[in-house]
Amino acid sequence: MFPAKIRPAGGNATLSVMSARGSGEPGQEPLRHSYGPDPSQFGELFLPAEEAAGVVVVVHGGYWRARYGAELGRPLAADLASHGYAAWNLEYRRAGNGGGWPRTFEDIAAGIDALLPLSRRHGFGLDRVAALGHSAGGHLAVWAAGRSRFHENTPGAHPAVQLTGVVAQSGVLDLRAADALHLSEDAASAFMGGSAAAAPEAYAAADPMQHLPLDIPVYAVHGMEDDTVPLEFSAAYARAAAAAGAVAELVLVPGHHFDLIDPRAEAYRRCRELLDVLLRP
């Protein structure tokens, strides 16, 4: 169990095949599977050449807006598969194409739970499943990590697939603070259908800060030159998690916001190393 600290770096979903550009065999193009009827309810499964060391759910960012999609996560998923993981690049409805509260959260939950039939079909285990989420995707990944603690009628309650760890990459981990700061032209308010003051119950259900302590470890990784998501979001989450008795760590890496999703960058490589810690004990 590691404390919160600063360390500079050197639901069963109904599943159908929506379309496939490859056979799903290791080294082939990923298989695209739908987990719902909407065009944005799909994921791309990347398989490793050997038996999977674990599963990584890749959740892309983009301040929850429809103009940013799964293409952001695709290079990461391909890289993770090349390093021995089954990678599930998850798409979901966003603000502007049917998403927002609660639909985006329902999609994230259903998309993760879709791994259950996929694992049976493709022969990988679900005993080690980590989420890798960037920016707004970091918010969604850490939110999903608390699903087993949700109340009965909360979107995402009763997970079929349990996450066993999260690496949040410059995550928007304090949703109320994002709203208060009017980040990215009031992205949080647009996503949630109103401000935190106007929709307190929705924010309470959607904000990772409100679901502490979690039962699984979270690495809150943040670029030291990030000017898109405040570093304090990751630092505040790590402090609050530690105070609540959870397993959390703030990890500082060199670079800007998008270095975290560039497989060539040191910031991303550090994230992959942290996944190794979570999935290769």
Sheet of 42-46, strand order: 6-8, 248-253, 218-223, 165-169, 129-134, 55-59, 86-90, 42-46, 31-34, 16-20
According to DSSP, the residues that pair with 19 across neighbouring strands are 32
When pLDDT is averaged across residues 151-175 and rounded to a whole number, the result is 96
Q: Is 1 part of a structural domain of the chain? A: no
Tracing tokens 């998008």 back to the chain, one arrives at 258
Residue 229 pLDDT exceeds 60: yes
- pLDDT at 128 > cutoff 60: yes
Q: Which uninterrupted H or E stretch holds 277? A: helix 266-279
Residues 190, 194, 200, 202, CA torsion sign: negative
Q: How many domains does the chain have?
A: 1
Q: Is residue 150 part of a domain?
A: yes
Residue 274 — pLDDT band, cuts 50, 70, 90? very high
Q: Quick check: 22 pLDDT over 70?
A: no
Of the candidate ranges 15-19, 59-63, 131-135, the one whose mean pLDDT is the lowest: 15-19
Which CATH number is 165's domain given?
3.40.50.1820
pLDDT at 12: 33
pLDDT of amino acid 28: 57
Residue 219: which domain range? 6-279
pLDDT for res 29: 81
Contact (Cβ atoms closer than 8 angstroms) between residue 63 and residue 187: yes
Residue 153 is predicted with a pLDDT of: 87
Asked whether residue 266 is domain-assigned, the answer is yes
